């Protein structure tokens, strides 16, 4: 036992030494990279190494530090970050104002007691409610995005006392039971079948299909609690619905007394050029789900904000029904989120993103005319998708881009699409660099492709 504990202590001390170090020696760098691979293989899941490799080069990319629009591996190789933490990095890496707030709170009080009142949770709830569209008012915080979706579904069922959830094909809402059941991709839920009962999927972007589903369920004596929808299906490959889609979904929900849940986990906090994407469409949901960017790329925090009248007696009298969180909405996360909201408004990040997004889209559309392998360029704000003929070509382009120092992701639900989601604080000159490197990467990929076709013909 003593020997086992000694070994654990040695490992913990070694890891802490790396955490405390300002500068890594060449030996440290080598050690961190090699041990990261070993630890993921032995103690996390070797699958992550293959998965990461599918977006990266022949070597595994280990992320060590970051500033604003870039991150570095332990060797100091720098990459422009177009992955953007899947939307979390709206304020850039290590934003000093967010770090300052978190550090100050850390020195005072890191974790609340769920039985007591934590002032920061109150301040943040008020700020979220002030920033949310329409009469959205009451907030409940969680840690993970999928948890917030779970909460939204629970909330809809409790407050409405109705049952069915209407979701959309190819939707991404997370991987926990309810969220995976609402998600619209078989790969997300087939391993946990059967899904939760009472979820009906309809085509995304087709409000008529949603109305027919609701009508048919009601006609056979079922009840419908809510419709859940993303303003833009990000993971499905940046799928943008028709202009008035959300408005029509709002009207349909009102007509049948069904709640509208809008999942703004990826699109919120300015990502599409307005603080909330639904705000840009003039729509107020009954339940808005937020996450990712609100933590400023520093702390995990997500949640739901809902209309006041939905807080039926059962929910008010038993506030723990939704959860009595031990860690969710903790003071550190609230400090990060308060600083993030201030930073977003003070710097008018939504407007900055709208302008930068238009600038980048226009440049990418020029590339679309030049490169036949690029089938489509689409997006809103700094949420942009590039569509290629096959997943292999998409992957080859992202690998070629990574070799040129730009890290880019693919859309999990549609690997033919690569996703550009850089920090909102990205500079115009960095956008120029990305576009120029993408131009080179696509030329190189097309050349390799032509070469492999010739080789295949000769064999
Ligand atoms: C719109 C949306 N909702 C929910 C989620 C679930 O997020 P997580 O897997 O971080 O819980 C995602 C993930 O990317 C998402 O894009």
Section 290-307 average pLDDT:
97
Question: What pLDDT sits at residue 410?
Answer: 82
pLDDT at position 53 over 70: no
For residues 40 and 133, membership in a common domain is answered with no
Q: Which atom of ligand 1 is nearest to the CA of 267?
A: 1
**Residue 327 maps to a domain:** yes
Same domain membership, residue 416 and residue 299: no
Segment 189-210 shows an average pLDDT of 91
Domain annotation covers residue 8: no
In a domain, 155, yes or no: yes
Measured CA to CA, the distance from residue 213 to residue 207 in angstroms comes to 10
293 and 305 assigned to the same domain: yes
Whole-number mean pLDDT of the chain? 93
pLDDT tens for each residue of 396-449: 999 999 999 999 988 878 889 999 999 999 999 999 999 999 999 999 999 988
Burial class (CB in 10 A: 0-12, 13-18, 19+), 194: exposed
Euclidean distance between CA atoms 246 and 260, whole angstroms: 10
Kindly tell me if the per-residue pLDDT of 336 is higher than 80: yes
Query: Looking at the domain assignment, is residue 118 inside a domain?
Result: yes
* pLDDT of res. 248: 98
- Residue 244, pLDDT above cutoff 80: yes
> Are residues 163 and 131 located together in one domain of the fold?
yes
Give 90-122 pLDDT, tens digit per residue. 999 999 999 999 999 999 999 999 889 999 999
Q: Are residues 54 and 38 in the same domain?
A: yes
235 lines ligand 1 (CB under 6 A): yes
- Note the pLDDT of residue 49: 81
Q: Is the CB of 412 under 6 A from ligand 1?
A: no
Q: In the prediction, which pLDDT does 58 show? A: 59
Ligand 1 atom nearest to CA at 292: 10
Residue 54 has pLDDT above 50, yes or no: no
**Alpha-carbon Rg for the chain in angstroms:** 23
Which of 281, 315, 346 is the C-terminal boundary of a domain?
A: 346
Q: pLDDT per residue over 256-297, tens digit each? A: 999 999 999 999 999 999 999 999 899 999 999 999 999 999
- Classify residue 6: in a domain, yes or no: no
Residues 165 and 287 grouped into a single domain: yes
- CATH code, domain carrying 437: 3.90.1150.10
* 263 close to ligand 1 (CB < 6 Angstrom): yes
| One domain, residues 158 and 242 | yes
Asked whether 268 lines ligand 1 (CB < 6 A), one says: no
**Confidence class of residue 57 from pLDDT cuts 50, 70 and 90?**
low
β-strand partners of 76: none
Indicate if the pLDDT at residue 341 is higher than 60: yes
> Is 393 touching ligand 1 by the criterion CB < 6 Å?
no
Same domain for 239 and 308? yes
- Average of pLDDT values for 303-322? 92
- List 174's β-bridge partners, or say none: none
Q: Tell me which of 7-16, 96-105, 313-322 is least confident.
A: 313-322
- For ligand 1, is residue 150 a contact (CB within 6 Å)? no
Pocket lining: 265 vs ligand 1, CB cutoff 6 Å: yes
Residue 373 lies in a domain: yes
* Ligand 1 midpoint to CA 265 (Å): 6
Which of residues 293, 315, 346 is at a domain's end?
346
Residue 105 maps to a domain: yes
Q: Which domain holds residue 38?
A: 18-87+348-458
Residues 357 and 342 in one domain: no
Same domain for 38 and 72 = yes
Residue 28 clears pLDDT 80, i.e. is over it: yes
pTM of the model: 0.95
Ligand 1 mutation target, pool 266, 278, 304, most atoms within 8 A of CB? 266
172 shares its domain with 251: yes
Pocket test for ligand 1, best of 88, 145, 184, 276 (most atoms within 8 A of CB): 145
Tell whether 270 and 397 lie within a shared domain: no
CATH no. for residue 209? 3.40.640.10
Which residue among 320, 346, 372 closes a domain?
346
Total number of domains constituting the chain:
2
What is the structure's pLDDT at 59?
60
Least confident of 25-39, 317-331, 361-375: 317-331
Rounded mean pLDDT of 381-385? 97
% of the chain beyond a pLDDT of 90: 82
Length of the chain: 459
pLDDT at res. 48: 83
Q: Quick check: is 222 in a domain?
A: yes
230 C-beta closer than 6 A to ligand 1: yes
Q: Which residue has the higher pLDDT, 455 or 40?
A: 40
Confidence of residue 52 (pLDDT cuts 50, 70, 90): low
């Amino acid at each position: 036992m003593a020997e086992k504990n000694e070994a654990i202590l040695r490992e913990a001390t070694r890891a802490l030494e790396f955490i405390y170090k300002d500068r890594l020696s060449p030996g440290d760098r080598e050690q961190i990279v090699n041990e990261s691979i070993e630890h993921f293989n032995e103690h996390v899941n070797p699958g992550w190494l293959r998965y990461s490799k599918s977006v990266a080069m022949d070597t595994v990319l280990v992320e060590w530090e970051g500033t604003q629009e870039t991150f570095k591996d332990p060797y100091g190789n720098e990459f422009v970050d177009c992955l953007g933490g899947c939307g979390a990095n709206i304020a850039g890496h290590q934003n000093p104002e967010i770090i300052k707030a978190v550090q100050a709170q850390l020195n005072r009080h890191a974790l609340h007691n769920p039985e007591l009142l934590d002032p920061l949770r109150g301040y943040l709830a008020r700020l979220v409610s002030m920033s949310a569209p329409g009469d959205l008012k009451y907030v409940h915080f969680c840690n993970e995005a999928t948890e917030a979706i779970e909460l939204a579904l629970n909330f809809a069922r409790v407050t409405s006392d109705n049952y069915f959830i209407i979701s959309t094909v190819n939707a991404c809402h997370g991987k926990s039971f309810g969220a995976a059941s609402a998600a619209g991709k078989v790969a997300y839920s087939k391993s946990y079948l059967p899904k939760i009962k009472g979820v009906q999927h309809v085509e995304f972007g087709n409000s008529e299909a949603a109305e027919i589903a609701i009508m048919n369920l009601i006609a056979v004596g079922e009840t419908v609690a809510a419709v859940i929808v993303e303003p833009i299906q990000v993971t499905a490959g940046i799928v943008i619905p028709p202009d008035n889609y959300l408005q029509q979904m709002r009207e349909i929900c009102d007509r049948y007394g069904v709640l509208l849940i809008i999942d703004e986990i990826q699109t919120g906090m300015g990502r599409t050029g307005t603080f909330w994407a639904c705000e840009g469409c003039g729509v107020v949901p009954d339940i808005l789900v937020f996450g990712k960017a609100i933590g400023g790329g520093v702390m995990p925090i997500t949640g739901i904000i809902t209309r006041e009248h939905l807080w039926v007696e059962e929910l008010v009298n038993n506030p723990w029904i939704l959860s009595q969180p031990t860690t969710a909405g903790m003071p550190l996360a609230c400090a990060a989120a308060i600083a993030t909201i201030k930073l977003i408004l003070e710097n008018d990040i939504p407007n900055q993103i709208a302008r930068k997004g238009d600038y980048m889209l226009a440049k990418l559309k020029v590339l679309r005319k030049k490169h036949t392998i690029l089938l489509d360029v689409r997006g809103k704000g700094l949420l942009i998708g590039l569509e290629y003929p096959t997943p292999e070509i998409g992957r080859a382009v992202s690998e070629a881009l990574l070799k040129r120092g730009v890290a880019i992701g693919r859309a999990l639900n549609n690997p033919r699409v690569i996703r550009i989601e850089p920090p909102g604080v990205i500079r115009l000159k960095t956008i120029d660099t990305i576009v120029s490197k993408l131009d080179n990467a696509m030329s190189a990929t097309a050349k390799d492709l032509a070469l492999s076709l010739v080789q295949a013909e000769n064999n």
